[in-house]
Amino acid sequence: MKIEPLMIGNLTAHVPVMQGGMGVGISLSGLAGAVAAEGGIGIISTAQIGYRDVGFDKDPIGCNLRAIKTEIEKARRIAGEKGIIGVNIMVATKRYEDYVRAAAQAGADLIVSGAGLPVDLPKYTAGSGTKLVPIVSSLKSVQVIIRYWMKKYKRLPDAVVIEGPLAGGHLGFTKEQAEHPEEMRYDEEVKKILQYVNETGEAEHTRIPVIMAGGIYTREDMEHYLEMGLSGVQMATRFVTTYECDAEKAYKQSYIDARKEDIVIVQSPVGMPGRAILNPFMRKAGAGKIPHGQCHSCISTCNPAETPYCITDALINAATGQTEDALLFCGANAWRAERLEHVKDIMDEFRP
């Protein structure tokens, strides 16, 4: 089939692939810049983005806000003049508004936002040229966002990402749904979301591209959704096992070593189900509470006094290669990784 560029307003990605945001420290400037340099859309995760700063323990939010600008600038140097660089900011992030404003002020081409409904995203980016891309998992959620944005802000999303039940990390589904995704017949929900977004765009004399995420691993996966009428795909897991991914090699190796049965649905300490690799840390977490230090002000739904373990500590351990003491988030297809590869090789597979 003929592959068309992914167009989001005045942004054109000649390869219709958006790299998914992966925190903490998995998709920073190195990975995002490399994907953008190859004609896709590179996404930096702002989740504890400043964890490498020496002052992080004392002022995590301040370090994160400064790092947003630094990482965007570094990614642009890698991506080149025409590269598209965006950020992923979770709605559940403490001081979400400050993160959004920092990204817009730093010149992010787009902000992708989920883990909650980003109903006030237009308010925080007013006056900027940053494109706004909400992540949804149901028809109801996209209807709520679009109707609210139109009523309060007189604007539409610049694109919409549909995140299905095969995605990695925190999921917008119940634990039971994530464990048995085949029973959901999720393509039917995708069609409903696509129809609603298309009809909304037509009524406003514009086009809103819809991008599919969750379980995309091969060109064949992408073509399935393009044939359904979507405009592009978002991939995250496939990019973890690249030389350019910002995580340490041990984290990447955990994907390569994983078997299909090692990938499980876990209950995150911040109250959401998530998909991860079963390892000694997760077995220990399942057996009882793991002591932790001070709060790093990450997610608004976390209660430090009651959390079974610190998700920030567990994800920093993952990024820094301490995989035996880490939460190893991954997508459903992580077990398919067999070796490290370059971003260019992946993008060539998806290139028109």
| Pairwise CA distance, residues 91 & 208, whole Å | 21
- 70 contacts: CB under 8 Å, gap ≥ 6: none
For residues 6 and 290, the model is more confident at 6
In the prediction, which pLDDT does 347 show? 98
pLDDT value at 257 more than 90: yes
- Res. 303 pLDDT band, cuts 50 70 90: low
pLDDT digits (tens, 9 = 90+) for 235-249: 999 999 999 999 999
Q: Which residue has the higher pLDDT, 93 or 304?
A: 93
At residue 15 the predicted structure's pLDDT band, cuts being 50, 70 and 90, is very high
Q: Which long-range contacts (CB under 8 A, 24 or more apart) does 313-316 make?
A: 314/281, 315/23, 315/24, 315/25, 315/47, 315/48, 316/24, 316/25, 316/48, 316/51
Length of the chain in terms of residues written: 352
Mean pLDDT for 140-148 is 98
* pLDDT of the residue at 287: 63
Angle between helices 186-203 and 219-228 (to 10 degrees): 50
Residue 270 has pLDDT above 90, yes or no: no
Q: Tens of pLDDT along 77-113?
A: 999 989 999 999 999 888 999 999 999 999 999 999 9
Supply the pLDDT for residue 289: 66
Mean pLDDT, the chain, integer: 92
266 pLDDT band (50/70/90 cuts)?
A: confident
The least confident of 40-49, 61-70, 281-290, 339-348 is: 281-290
pLDDT at 233: 98
What was the pLDDT predicted at 338?
96
Q: Per mean pLDDT, which range of 19-23, 128-132, 253-257, 294-298 is the poorest?
A: 294-298
Residue 310 confidence (pLDDT) above 90? no
For residues 122 and 129, the answer to whether their CB atoms sit within 8 Å is: no
Q: Quote the pLDDT of residue 94.
A: 85
Question: What confidence tens digit (pLDDT) does each residue in 162-181 have?
Answer: 999 999 988 888 888 888 88
What is the per-residue pLDDT for 290?
Answer: 65
What does the alpha-carbon distance between residue 250 and residue 233 come to, in Å, rounded to a whole number?
27
Cβ contacts of residue 5 below 8 Å, gap of 6+?
12, 13, 14, 15, 16, 352
Report the pLDDT value the prediction gives residue 81, as an integer from 0 to 100: 87
**Does the pLDDT value for residue 305 go beyond 70?**
no
Q: What is the pLDDT of residue 174?
A: 84
Examine the pLDDT at 61 and tell me if it is beyond 70: yes
Nearest to 252 by CA among 158, 340, 137: 340
Q: What pLDDT was estimated at residue 242?
A: 98
